[in-house]
Amino acid sequence: MDAVTNPKSGRPTRHRAKLIAIIAVSLLLLYAASPYYSVWRFGEALRAHDMNALAARVDFDAVRVSLKQQIRDHFLGVLAKKKKDRLAQFLASSADDPLGRLIDAYVTPEGLFSIISDPAPLKNANSISSLPGVDGSARREIDWSKARHAFFTSPRDFAVDHEGIKLRFRFTGFGWKLHTLDLQLPGGTTAASSGN
């Protein structure tokens, strides 16, 4: 009687193990595909200028801090040490931070759209005063076919190379949010070092 019941009692255990393995693999595949879907939804929200959808997909504070640091490091990196210290003190102590106001204009739907669709004017600026403003009237479509690489940089970080910049998304537990726009400016810090 024992020989007859043992094989039957082993089947539910094996069946349960297979079911758990199938569920685990399915969840892993879903997680691996989720940033690609989120990037597409991000692009749609940006194109439609849907503030609610965009707010759910962008960590505006993190993007603002990242852009400000990259631009500051890039332009301060080309100055002499003495001038650099004076300018850094001015920018840090100024209540009416001109760089902060300029960055705030970029950390808007129009500004993000402008940078992502054509980062060249921002990347080619040779001084803080030559940084281009945000002009929402001349909007061109973002060509996502120019995204060359999309890859995980860690289990909760995902990057997309597009037009010479990296869009870095971070998984927050509720979905993927744009965390950093890595402009890859010469002489500046990269988001890999400042985005964590």
Q: Which of residues 39 and 97 earns the better pLDDT score?
A: 39
Nearest to 76 by CA among 52, 44, 105, 99: 99
> Could you report the per-residue pLDDT of 119-129, keeping only the tens digit for each?
888 888 777 77
pLDDT band (50, 70, 90) for residue 29? very high
Q: How far apart are the first and last CA of the chain?
A: 62
pLDDT band (50, 70, 90) for residue 193? very low
Q: State the residue for tokens 């991000």.
A: 42
> Could you report the per-residue pLDDT of 106-115, keeping only the tens digit for each?
888 888 888 8
Least confident of 20-29, 31-40, 94-103: 94-103
Separation in Å, CA 45 to CA 2, 27, 81, 87: 63, 26, 43, 37
Separation in Å, CA 160 to CA 76, 82, 110: 27, 37, 20
Mean pLDDT, residues 59-88: 74
